[in-house]
Amino acid sequence: MSEYRTIAILVFRIFRGKYHFYLVRRAINVPAVPSTWTPIGSVITAQDFRVAEELEKKYGDISDNMADKVTVLRLLLERDLIHDTELQSSVPLFTEVRQKILKMDPAYVTTFFSSMIPWGRQKAYLNEDILDCYYYLYIVPTSSIFRKGKLSQYSEYISSSDIVLEERSWWFKSSKLVKKYNKIEGLFDPIVMTFISKLYHEKKKIVDVARELDKETIDTQIIKLGLLPKILKFETPAPTRTPFDLCNIYVVGNERQYIIDPGSTTSKAITVLEKYIEENLDKIDGILLTSHLVDHCNQALQLKEKYDIPLYASEETAKELVDEGFVFNSHLKKGMKIFLGTYEPLGIRKWELEVVELPGYTKGHLGYYDPRGVLFSGSLLHKGIVSSIGSYDNAYSDFISSLKKISKYNLKYALSGHRDIISDVKQAINFNLKNLKMNEGFIIRLLKEGKSTLDELINAVLRNSDLEWRDSAVNIVLTILSKLTKESKIKKRGEDYFCVNSTN
């Protein structure tokens, strides 16, 4: 599986008093994002980031999201949508787009960037690829600076080296799309249809509609995992810090369905999930928690009370939440099975989740194993980063044991409480084990060099590892220090730590 950060751009203009949008048809055998007709789109590349950095050095910080907007500018240039005879004569069009952008008049680039408005984000799971797509609206400026640069009426661009390049493009009138909406809904990217329909019916300014939709898409998204039928993912803002500022709520099952880890900043953020519950209430049998952490459960009580849905967790998790008013229907223990109905593709008449005890971040942390080779891993594993460890006694050894436990399962995917699907679970497990072992040795070396305070150790670890956030580094350093102290490899004097054989 490959994961791509993609940019999609909807080009807008007013022509003869009518709204027009520039839409494209994807090339043959190239996955769409996600329908037949879509905005112009492409993967954001390392070159785009380099151009953004060079522009910032040359002109200053002229725009937010510069790399995204450089990608949009590159798309229009690559497809020969912007015609400028002076630029075309000085720089070959398809050979070096980077040079062409850097030779542009700064006023032109600034005007172009200021005409770009974010209007949503969407994830698509297509075949073996994950496309994390950020949408932008480009309003064709009327500024005199654009007199030389004109948008063409039609383009054709085919490439086998990229996954989201289009074959043909045309202008579409918004009125035409809306009038035929029921007949052609499946042909157009849903986010495009929502945008155009909202603009056409509510008669709002195009900028206001774009910003309104951008806010809505940040709240909640429902994502059907094409690779994993019968699993829905709701990505919502979380009441925690980066990289855990988005949390994943899952719904799994067929005739019987369960909600896993409903956590988000506010009840407003889960309105899409609530709508799904209301439409499928007869199928939903319960809410499953992996832990008591706020970003995994803070909407669970509301959902339980509002829809009378049973709530389940481990006994340790239930104890942590009793003072918050949580009432659990029963406690889950390792080896318990949770009935989901049938799953015909595997010939499973009794499809069940298995409860797996996975302490390490919290004492009562649970995972849920789907026999299709899927683990709902909660806070145990996260794609691309070292997972955090709890601060309780034995958290370090519990975490290591849990990683080794799941390595014995034949896992194809791990569905984390945050970030994206983990498709190479063994690699993620080894990544964590390797980094923890590395940090353990690194801390011993630092202590031998005379660094003894907790702050010194944490700051050193943050500079020399892949950890992305300080709070988790604190817990990891503390648990490693606790482990080394129990093993008598180090000792603590006051607030400082020293190696046992240290002369300091």
Specify the pTM. 0.59
Q: Which of 224-238, 275-289, 440-454 bottoms out in mean pLDDT, i.e. has the lowest?
A: 224-238
* Nearest residue to 121 (alpha-carbon basis) of 44, 58, 186: 44
Average pLDDT over residues 168-191: 71
Write down the mean pLDDT value for the chain. Answer: 79
CA 112 to chain centre: 28
How is residue 482 written in tokens?
């606790």
- Residue of higher predicted confidence among 484 and 266: 484
pLDDT for 351 equals 93
Among 20-34, 87-101, 107-121, 131-145, the range scoring the smallest mean pLDDT is 87-101
Report the pLDDT value the prediction gives residue 151, as an integer from 0 to 100.
Answer: 55
Residue 90 banded pLDDT, cuts 50, 70, 90: very low
- The domain ranges of the chain are 2-219, 222-423, 436-499
Side chain identity, residue 445: R
pLDDT confidence of residue 158: 47
202-229 in b/e form (b: 16+ CB < 10 A) is: eeeebeebbebbbebbbbbbebebebbe
Lowest-confidence pick of 94-103, 310-319, 429-438 = 94-103
Overall fold of domain 2-219: Nucleoside Triphosphate Pyrophosphohydrolase (3.90.79)
pLDDT on residue 160 = 43
> Residue 94 pLDDT more than 50?
no
Query: Distance between CA 318 and CA 311 in Å, rounded?
Result: 10
pLDDT at 365: 97
Average of pLDDT values for 444-456?
A: 79
Average pLDDT over residues 160-165: 47
pLDDT above 70 for 125 = no
| Amino acid 127: pLDDT | 56
222-423, CATH topology level: Metallo-beta-lactamase; Chain A (3.60.15)
Q: Would you state the pLDDT for residue 270?
A: 83
Query: In the predicted model, is pLDDT for residue 131 greater than 60?
Result: yes
Position of tokens 């055998």?
Answer: 29
Helix-helix angle 470-486:395-407, to 10 degrees: 100
Which of 298-312, 417-431, 467-481 shows the lowest per-residue confidence on average (mean pLDDT)?
467-481
Is residue 91 very low, low, confident or very high in pLDDT (cuts 50, 70, 90)?
very low
Sheet with 231-237: list strands edge to edge.
Answer: 221-224, 231-237, 246-253, 257-260, 284-288, 311-313, 330-331
What angle do helix axes 206-219 and 190-202 make, rounded to 10 degrees?
130
Among 148-152, 395-399, 486-490, where is mean pLDDT lowest? 148-152
In CATH, the architecture of 436-499 is Orthogonal Bundle (1.10)
**Residue 391, pLDDT above cutoff 80:** no
- The tens digit of pLDDT for each residue in 3-43 reads 778 888 888 877 667 778 888 876 555 555 556 778 888 88
When pLDDT is averaged across residues 41-64 and rounded to a whole number, the result is 82
* Three-class secondary structure assignment of 316-327: HHHHHHHHHCCC
Of the candidates 430, 448, 447, the one whose C-alpha atom is nearest the C-alpha of residue 481 is 447
Q: Is the pLDDT of residue 88 over 60?
A: no
The mean-pLDDT minimum among 144-153, 327-336, 388-397 falls in 144-153
Query: Pick the residue with more confidence: 202 or 297?
Result: 297
Per-residue model confidence as pLDDT tens digits over 317-343: 999 998 888 999 999 999 999 999 988
pLDDT higher at 311 or 449: 311
